Chain A
Amino acid sequence: MKKSITVLVILLMAISAVFTGCASEKPVSGSDDLEKDSFIMALPEDAQNLDPQNNNSLNSMRIVVNINETLTKIDDNGKVVPSLAEDWEVSEDGLEYIFHIKKGVKFHNGEELKADDVVFTFERAMASPFAGAVFGPVESAEKIDDYSVKVKLKYQYVPFLTALTAPVSSIVNKEAVESKGDDYGRNPVGTGAYEFVNWASGSQIVLKAFEDYHLGPAPIKNVTYKIITDPSTAVVALQSGEVDAVINVPAIDIQSINNDPNLTLYETPSALFEYLGMNTSQAPFDNVKVRQAIAYALDKEGILMGVAEGTGVLANNQLIDSIFGYTDEIKAYPYDVEKAKSLLAEAGYEDGFNAEIITVEGDRKKIAQIVQENLRQIGITCEISILENVAYLDKAKKGEFDMFVTGWNTPAPDADLGLYFSYNSSMINAMNYTRYFNEEMDDLLIRGRTTPDESERLIIYKQALELLHSDVPNVPIYYTKTNIAVNKDIKGVKAVPTSEYRIYNFSW
């Protein structure tokens, strides 16, 4: 009786002693200590793995771009320039590329970058289910000599050099991948400005500047990516100095960042646009007048204000100015309810009809709700079905829907990557969710990716955008804005549409 209480108390004391004892007293990590060679960035979700050819997650690629590099890269003017490949030759028929690799580039494990590594990377990417968009056209890669690689394509693919700037094309070290096997994704090796130090699953990933980086060591020596899933918590951590940068601050917090004298916000339109898609293979959406009526009926500005609180750019068409092939001469359908009603009547549906919109949780649900209201004005009664991500994708691929709300992100700044997968008829049952089937479009898209002359390509893509405008398989609504909020003392920060930041450019 007295004994049991004593036992209980002793037990409690023992437990608390054990726990306080084993809690390691490390100093609060943050940049309020005067270590101006450290940088902490908040990451919204843990990376899947750091193997460039084996993941499709944005948060993994955000880190990969600091550890690895690609053969080509995009400069500040949006042009393709040399990176690990210092120059290249393209054959007349566009089927053979010879890349000359920069000499003296070191990997983090001390090995020098050679043709073997490039060939190895290409063969790996060709076999990977994650790299189809870039490496689909590649037939083979072979070593000519230690610093030259010949790449053969299955068909002419003019945007190839642009596609090679995507992180999935990052060159890996053959020896490192072969020796580490399955562990490579947790222990990557690259030629980039930062080398991998460690990864505390679910907590943080640590990198440090690679002293032998071929373009000179990075100004910031230590980089930590802290995983903070809740965006509001990330903003508070930024304000209290526990992190130095936060990507994609939610719209409601932008005001408080702007009001804080210690923080700066940079933003830019991204290559991701939200749109309403329609199933062009079934009635009534197979009637172009119905689709045009819907395009006129959507209050795009209202949607941008209501969903994104104005942080976004109204879409003119299915491309934006950061993507090669864009033209601002093709503009969006204006908001005109009367025109919408008359077109619907012309199509024979003056009494309207019922339809279902499928989408996922989050902002897209809100977009769907406003669309529902807009369409009600012209007599179309919509029911919204919110599906879970995988279920939604399943229905979208199979065409089991009337309309859907989703987004499309163009992975590298070329019109082919923005249009081919969504509007070429070979992609029905894959990414051509609207099931758009137009031979003229197919022809334009094939010509677009096989015509080497840039000005000719611009003409082709302008025609493609015109066709998309008149056929309207989907109604582009707005391009999202990506932003980064940083401690005001950090220099060299510029908002990037892909939101994959190279810390090499930053300094205190």
Chain B
Amino acid sequence: MYRYILKRFLMMIPVILGITFIIFTILELTPGDPGTIILGPLATPEEINALNEQLGYNRPFIIRYVDYLLNAVKGDFGRSYITRLPVFAEVLSRFPVTLKLTSYSIILTVIVSIPIGILAAVKQYSIIDGTSMLLAMFLSSVPVFWLGLMLILIFSLKLGLFPSIGNDSFRHFVLPTITTAAATIAIITRMTRTTMLEILRQDYIRTARAKGANSMRIIWKHAIRNCLIPVVTLLGINFGLLLGGTVLVETVFGMSGVGTLLVGAIRQKDIPVVLGSVTFLAICFSLINLIVDISYGYIDPRIKN
């Protein structure tokens, strides 16, 4: 088991390196240098060159990249061009909001989708099946920001039940969580239902039924566990995607998470923050995939080999 984990862990490293190299290159190719970005349009060329020299911008690309990596390993992701604060500290301070939003969404998804998906499969063609599939289609079709604004208009403005902006208390997270979870709920419900349907048609289920086993028991003991593999995969991938994709929800609900930090940095050409945020998210995503891979080993013993 441990070799399996170790192998997976080691594979993470080239992935992260590749990502940082690609982002570094992309940012290199976009126009603009730190001097112009920080000092703005009113500065003279001499002042701009002086600042660029000071920030080490005039060195060759590879040297800057390697320098960045060596510092990153020590936890130093440089300083923001705009706020001059250490990037790592800034990203870390915004991370709890995004993590909470993503985690609550995944928890909500698990609570809602899996039972409904299973129910829809077990009672195929019933009202429950039809309604839940219709709802899933709706949730996957609506734009995220539309859903968010609609929820704000109804529950914040008209009914005054929840606040519309900010991330101070748990109540602030309710509407954003629903908005973020919507698309994932749609996917996971459908996936659970489909997988469950397939499993229920399997020979070993028929055998269990033939042996006289109780329906409920069949579902619990045999079906669900097998159903979990694709669902867990999807949940893991979605968790990773959500981590990077909460920007729209964070913007609509005025929350200060990594999403808004990243987008703000891109708009202001704050390159260290962009690099730092993307690297951070890449590491998180890889770790999550690692956890998902490891959990396979427990869910399905066949995979360990």
| Residues of A in contact with B (beta carbons under 8 Å apart) | 1, 4-5, 7, 12, 15-16, 19-20, 23-30, 45-46, 48-49, 56, 129-130, 132-133, 182, 185-186, 200-203, 226-230, 232-234, 236-237, 239-240, 242-243, 388-391, 393-394, 430-431
Contact = CB atoms under 8 A, between A and B. Distances in A.
B43 interface: yes
A49 B157 contact: no
B42 A233 contact: no
Interface of B: 30-32, 36-37, 39-44, 47, 51, 82-85, 90, 93-94, 100, 103-104, 107, 110, 149, 152-153, 156-157, 160, 163-173, 221, 224-225, 251-254, 256, 260-261, 264, 269, 298-299
Given A25-B169, A182-B84, A201-B94, A230 B40 contact: no
A237 B107 CA distance: 28
Contact of A237 (B41, B153, B254): B254
Contact of A1 (B93, B225, B264): B225
Contact of A229 (B85, B107, B224, B260): B260
Given A12-B110, A232-B149, 15 more contacts: A19-B100, A19-B103, A23-B169, A28-B169, A28-B171, A29-B166, A49-B83, A130-B42, A229-B260, A233-B164, A388-B30, A389-B269, A390-B31, A391-B32, A430-B44
B152 A431 contact: no
B164 A203 contact: no
Tell me the dominant secondary structure on chain B's binding face: helix
A135 to B, nearest CB: 12
A24 B299 CA distance: 35
13 contacts: A4-B299, A16-B107, A25-B169, A27-B169, A129-B43, A229-B254, A233-B149, A233-B251, A239-B157, A243-B165, A390-B37, A391-B32, A394-B36
Contacts of A234: 254
Contacts of B163: 28, 30, 240, 242
A297 to B, nearest CB: 29
Given A20-B170, A56-B40, A240 B164 contact: yes
Contacts of A229: 251, 254, 260, 264
B216 to A, nearest CB: 14
User: Which 9 pairs show the lowest CB-CB distances between chains A and B?
Assistant: A202-B256, A390-B32, A203-B256, A129-B47, A56-B40, A391-B31, A228-B254, A129-B43, A23-B170
B82 A48 contact: yes
Q: Which of A186, A230, A388 has the most CB of B within 10 A?
A: A230
A240 B160 contact: yes
B31 A388 contact: yes
A237 B42 contact: no
Contacts of B165: 226, 228, 233, 237, 242-243
A166 to B, nearest CB: 12
Contacts of A227: 254, 256
